Amino acid sequence: MNEFSSLREMSAGLDRGDFSSVELTQAHLDRIQQANAALNCFITINADSALAAAAQADDQRARGSKSPTLGLPFAHKDIFCTQGVLTTAGSKMLSNFVAPYDATVVSNMAAAGMVSVGKTNMDEFAMGSSNENSFFGPVSNPWDHERVPGGSSGGSAAAVAAGLVAGATGTDTGGSIRQPAALCGITGLKPTYGRVSRYGMIAFASSLDQAGPMTRDAEDAALMFSVMAGFDPKDSTSAERRDAWLDATIANGIAALDRPLTIGLPSEYFSDNSNLSYIDIAKTELQRLGHKLVEVSLPHTQAAVPVYYVLASAEASTNLSRYDGVRFGHRCNDPQSLQDLYERSREEGFGEEVKRRILTGTYTLSVGYFDAYYLKAQKIRRLISEDFQQAFTKVDVLLAPTSPTPAFKKNQLTDDHVAMYQQDLYTVPTSLAGLPAISLPCGFCDGLPMGMQLIAPAFGEELLLQLAAQYQGQTDWHLRRPGDSA
């Protein structure tokens, strides 16, 4: 057992009695204490409650419980409400907010006996692609501390890549699981919209937000995903299904892929072929595994980034109107009037990027501009979705890059908002269409990890995980660690 052991390996170790969950959890806490100062990937470390949960898991195991997830340590992105624990969403606005209840993802994982060791750093309200928008400071990429880990789930990605935890939850509105997974050399699954409950997950853009696992391999992603997913009556957009394969996966792991697939390469994603040699290696490997590659077209891809930033900002502007200094979080000192209370609490509580989104979102929703921006963006969203439907009449899954560049330097893009938004080029189309996608490590560029993205039709997570597991069974990109020479 070492810091890069997988959840599955730890589970087997617990079963054999090699160590207890308390010992395992303590080892995780020690590593986090030691590494967090340099990486800044945790906002809160919950040593006491983690050790108490671990002791309870040991007790249950001693009394015969066989659940594979019982007693496994992991971390939550600090966007999930955790009862009695600080829940900040990376914002000054919520820097004093102790959640009064658990998000469904949090209660699902606790019910499976998993042990949360803490809450990870993130871009404020999940808005960003570099984790530089956190009130709690930037996170360092474990591969190069001068560089960003990606965002918004940058703390989770860095913690997993550095071996502080084997799994962490993330959320993805336009790429926030997949892009940091790619930039940190780990595996991240963004599920189908509606698959994982949004209840208690602090809202950014409600028609896009979706939670998923960030782990070092597909097997662990499948394990965590199967625990996180499921119908939840408390989320009105939750899908009323719980596929049988989810429970089978928890018990036995991912079922082997039993047929060759047709994999589509969207030509629009490969038009900038400057540094795509790492994807060529992945293509060759997939062909060697017996899969057929064909070219497809997603003609409205170009519009995806502008459409996403119109819609996500519009939804953010309404979601974030609840932070008015009255009910949640930061309140200004000595307000002179109700208006003053609202204005100063919001002025002081929100960071610059969040304010930018609220302003643009409010603008595109206002009378006179609604038709030209919001409505038009909704129409194009439909076209983007139809592009995918069309492609999936010909192919089983799609293959694409996850991010246009490897991890960039801190401060490199902070003044160039459009360049920062362009980071999401390959991830937002899937989000707009509500489809599942997984990012997995597949090579290096300038010594930094790169990811590839596999995209499936709605509710096709099993196929994605099967293909990812098959690929990882034959390659070792997911086993490369920061500090190894690339």
Cβ-closest position to ligand GLN: 176
Residue 121 CB, nearest distance to ligand GLN (Å)? 14
Rule CB under 6 A: is residue 69 a binding residue for ligand GLN? no
Tokens of 253: 């792991």
Rule CB under 6 A: is residue 127 a binding residue for ligand GLN? yes
- Alpha carbon 325 to chain centroid, angstroms: 29
- Closest to ligand GLN by CB, 266 or 361: 361
Residues facing 401 on adjacent strands: 452
Secondary structure in 3-state letters for 121-155: CCCHHHCCCCCCCCCCCCCCECCECCECCCCCCHH
Q: In this chain, which stretch among 28-36, 97-105, 122-130, 324-332 interacts with ligand GLN, using CB under 6 A?
A: 122-130
Name the catalytic one among 21, 77, 140, 345: 77
Rule CB under 6 A: is residue 120 a binding residue for ligand GLN? no
Q: Is 77 a catalytic residue?
A: yes
Q: Is 156 a catalytic residue?
A: no
Rule CB under 6 A: is residue 169 a binding residue for ligand GLN? no
Footprint on residues 290-319 left by ligand GLN (CB under 6 A): 312
Rule CB under 6 A: is residue 217 a binding residue for ligand GLN? no
Q: In this chain, which stretch among 127-135, 137-145, 289-297, 463-471 interacts with ligand GLN, using CB under 6 A?
A: 127-135
Residue 115 CB, nearest distance to ligand GLN (Å)? 26
Q: Are 197 and 189 in contact (CB under 8 A)?
A: no
Name every residue whose Cβ is closer than 8 Å to that of residue 98 and which is 6 or more positions away in sequence. Answer: 84, 85, 86, 87
- Closest to ligand GLN by CB, 70 or 316: 316
- Closest to ligand GLN by CB, 71 or 212: 212
Rule CB under 6 A: is residue 174 a binding residue for ligand GLN? yes
Nearest alpha-carbon partner for 446 in 177, 158, 143: 143
Q: Is 243 helix (H, G, I), strand (E, B) or coil?
A: coil
- Alpha carbon 209 to chain centroid, angstroms: 10
Q: Is 271 a catalytic residue?
A: no
Residues facing 101 on adjacent strands: none
Tokens of 183: 């930039």
Strand ordering across the sheet containing 73-77? 42-45, 115-120, 73-77, 167-172, 210-215, 187-190, 437-445, 448-455, 397-401, 262-266, 292-296
- Closest to ligand GLN by CB, 128 or 401: 128
Rule CB under 6 A: is residue 210 a binding residue for ligand GLN? no
Q: In this chain, which stretch among 136-144, 173-181, 221-229, 283-291 interacts with ligand GLN, using CB under 6 A?
A: 173-181
Give the integer Cα–Cα distance in Å for 63 and 59: 6
Count of residues binding ligand GLN (CB under 6 A)?
A: 13
Rule CB under 6 A: is residue 213 a binding residue for ligand GLN? no
Give the integer Cα–Cα distance in Å for 76 and 211: 11
- Closest to ligand GLN by CB, 151 or 325: 151
Residue 316 CB, nearest distance to ligand GLN (Å)? 8
Backbone angles phi, psi at 13, to 5 degrees: -65, -40
DSSP 397-463: EEEEES-SSSPPBTTSSTT-HHHHHHTTTTTHHHHHHT--EEEEEEEEETTEEEEEEEE-STT-HHH
Residue 356 CB, nearest distance to ligand GLN (Å)? 10
Name the catalytic one among 152, 153, 385, 403: 152
Name the catalytic one among 176, 197, 238, 439: 176
Length of the chain: 486
Rule CB under 6 A: is residue 261 a binding residue for ligand GLN? no
Rule CB under 6 A: is residue 132 a binding residue for ligand GLN? no
Footprint on residues 405-424 left by ligand GLN (CB under 6 A): 424
Binder of ligand GLN out of 71, 113, 142, 175 (CB under 6 A): 175
Give the integer Cα–Cα distance in Å for 369 and 377: 12
Q: Is 160 helix (H, G, I), strand (E, B) or coil?
A: helix
Q: In this chain, which stretch among 174-182, 271-279, 286-294, 338-346 interacts with ligand GLN, using CB under 6 A?
A: 174-182
- By the criterion CB under 6 A, which residues form the site for ligand GLN? 126-129, 152, 172-176, 204, 312, 424
Catalytic residue positions? Answer: 77, 152, 176
